[in-house]
Amino acid sequence: MLIQYLFVFAQVHEDFRIPELLSTSELYGFEIKFPERLEDRDTSRPFMLLELESEEHARLLSRRCILIRYVCEFYARGKSYEEVHEHNRARSSLWEKYIEDTSFKFLVTAFNHTIPQWRQRDVVESFSYMDFRGKIDMKNPDITLTVFEEYPDKHGTTREKTEGDGQFDEVWFGRLIEVGSARPLVKTFDVKKRVYYGNTSMEAEISLLMANQTLASPGKLIYDPFVGTGSMAYTTAHFGAFVLGSDIDGRQMRGKIKPPGIIRAAAQYGVASRIVDLCTFDVTQNPWRCGDLFDAIITDPPYGVRAGAKRLGRKSNRPPREAPAPAHVERPDDQPYIPPVKPYELSELARDLVILARYMLKPRGRLVFFLPTVTEEYEELDVHAMLCDGMELVANSLQNFGSWGRRLITIRKTTAEKYPPPIFDPVRAVTEAMDVHVPAHKDFREKYFQGFKKSDFSIEDVRRG
């Protein structure tokens, strides 16, 4: 028997909501039944009724999902209070057990509105037919009954504070089970309060959402091949996983003082012992002895705006040096030798990452990474064209910045077959790309700095064509 629970979500990153719920339920091994009617699944609304097997499952979600604010046992909903009361009376079997001797309080609140005190009292009194005989306890009640009024978004209008009071779209009523306890982690991991960060550090909330997509939990081993200043290492380690990080540029991981910056920040969060190791290398020239190692790969690849992706090799067509480069010229920043690097084009990097993940992940392991996209040109095929045999798309959530956005892509390895290590061959990639789909994120850096305008060249093409 499934039970209905009323979930109240923070109204941010709406596109990440359902993937986060699904990942968390997969992690703990239970099912969520989502509402059938499309309007009841609309993530622009903060309320959603989810059906679960038990209250325990509701609690697991509220302790892990960053976007959950409250979880309640659902009693009633309605377009008016008359409807709510009628619905609520019909479902009295859910709350009868609290009538005799349970201390309680009411919480009356609204979304997109502030309800004046006097009407909050009226609302509470309108539930008097429930006839609760326990004492009212505002500090430590046994149960909290919650009323949520849902108002339309009044963004951008000028109005009196209580104007439109009572003109809600819907009222929701239930018994509070838990206040979402994962949501405060957004403050805990606030980048501004972190002892070590850089200009490419990922904001806390997104780092946490990413960590949840990896199904991080104690005993898992998770790898970030572009670890940078470690933003996602802290959140995945917080959920108990061991983390390995690598980066082509060791300075990002180290900072200027000892111990390394990532270790200092990890210590601040009490997870330093779970940062297994940090290594300096180019992921296209990596020293991993074998594949089939990681439960997840989580990463925010550099896409060229604040920091460009680099790989070993020379730019342009200059011939490489014949003789070995001077091997150990001491440099002031403790890097004994920095080989030449060249830019790493984004669509090439993204496709390589999927192939690398297929080799490095254990079966059912997940690859979680951000892909920046050009809003107007994006099509779903851009992401599907990146996939290869044995890798399937689990989630694709957009964080929209207007003319561009970034998509959090979650891919699962579905195969137990062994694949050879990837070759990362740029030459072959170019020839192969001739007859395959060109994604909108190709040459993202150039498009970004052109302000996402169509280049003159393509306008010419259109005229001719």
Partner 1 sequence: MVRLITHNLLACHAKGCTSNNFPLQFQDVSIELRDADFNADFLRGFLPRLEWPALVGAARQLGDTSLPAEQPDMIDDEFLQKLHHVLLEIHVEEGAMVCPNCKHVYPISNGIPNMLLAEHEIG
**Phi/psi zone of residue 355: left (φ > 0), alpha (ψ -120 to 50 degrees), beta?**
alpha
Contact between 426 and partner 1 by CB under 8 A: the answer reads no
The token pair that represents 278 in the structure block? 């940090």
Binding residue for partner 1 (CB under 8 A) from 37, 139, 161, 258? 258
Query: Within 317-356, which residues bind partner 1 (CB under 8 A)?
Result: 320-325, 327, 334-340
Closest distance between partner 1 and the C-beta of residue 235, in Å? 17
Structure tokens at 411: 């891919």
Closest CB to partner 1 among residues 107, 267: 267
In the numeric block, the tokens 């779903």 are attached to 380
360 lies in the site for partner 1, by CB under 8 A: no
What is the sign, positive or negative, of the torsion defined by CA atoms of 435, 441, 443, 447?
positive
Cβ of residue 89: shortest distance to partner 1, in angstroms?
50
Least separation in angstroms between residue 23's CB and partner 1 is: 20
The residues pairing with 49 across neighbouring beta strands, listed in sequence order, are 6
Looking at the Cβ atoms of 90 and 290, the one nearer to partner 1 is 290
* Shortest Cβ 150–partner 1 spacing (Å): 44
Assess 242 for contact with partner 1 (CB under 8 A): yes
365 is an interface residue for partner 1 by CB under 8 A? no
172: Cβ contacts below 8 Å, ≥ 6 apart: 6, 47, 74, 76, 77, 146, 147, 148, 150
Residue 259 contacts partner 1 per CB under 8 A: yes
- Under the binding rule (CB under 8 A), the answer on residue 110 touching partner 1 is no
Question: What φ, ψ does residue 197 adopt, rounded to 5°?
Answer: -155, 170
| Distance (Å, whole) CA 369 – CA 224 | 10
385 contacts partner 1 (rule: CB under 8 A): no
Q: Would you count residue 178 as binding partner 1 (CB under 8 A)?
A: no
Give the sheet arrangement for strand 47-52, strand by strand: 47-52, 3-9, 68-78, 170-179, 143-150, 104-111
CA–CA separation, 29 and 451 (whole Å):
45
DSSP code of residue 443: T
Number of residues engaging partner 1 in binding (CB under 8 A): 50
Q: With respect to partner 1, which residue has the nearer C-beta, 46 or 260? A: 260
Name every residue whose Cβ is closer than 8 Å to that of residue 362 and which is 6 or more positions away in sequence. Answer: 292, 293, 294, 295, 413
Is 209 among the residues that bind partner 1 (CB under 8 A)? no
Q: According to the binding rule CB under 8 A, does residue 273 interact with partner 1?
A: yes
**How far, in Å, CA of 106 to CA of 461, rounded?**
66
Complex with partner 1: residue 123 or 275, whichever CB lies closer: 275
* Cβ at position 356, least distance to partner 1 in Å: 14
Q: Determine which residue in the list 181, 285, 403, 450 makes contact with partner 1, applying CB under 8 A.
A: 285
Q: Minimum CB separation from partner 1 for residue 271, in Å? A: 9
**Looking at beta carbons only, is 161 or 258 nearer to partner 1?**
258
Please, how many CA atoms are within 13 Å of residue 184, restricted to the half-sphere of its CB? 4
Asked if residue 290 binds partner 1 (CB under 8 A), the reply is yes
Sort 155 into a burial class: Cβ within 10 Å, 0-12 / 13-18 / 19+: exposed
- Helix (H/G/I), strand (E/B), else coil: 341: strand
Q: Using CB under 8 A, list all residues that contact partner 1.
A: 218-221, 242, 244, 246, 248, 250, 253-254, 258-260, 263, 273-282, 285-290, 292-293, 312-314, 320-325, 327, 334-340
